[in-house]
Amino acid sequence: MSPHPTPNTPHPTPHTQHPTPHTLHPTPHTPHPTPHTPHPTPYTPHPTPYTLHPDLEYSGGRPIANT
């Protein structure tokens, strides 16, 4: 009896690690690019302040009689 004509050889494709190992996400979290800023139009007093009625004339705080 002769030895087996084809001796056992290692598998032609040995096990290798996965070609793409796990890496962290390429885009890490960053703060929002537009931070909060105060309102661009702050409150201002009314553009038309209160005025006395145009038909009334005052002098020194006392009404002038229309005579």
Q: What percent of the chain has pLDDT over 90?
A: 0
Whether pLDDT at 59 is above 60 = no
d(CA 66, CA 51): 20
Whether pLDDT at 34 is above 70 = yes
pLDDT in tens, 1-21: 677 677 777 767 767 776 777
- Total H helices, total E strands in the chain: 0, 2
Taking the whole predicted model, whether its pTM rises above 0.85 is answered as no
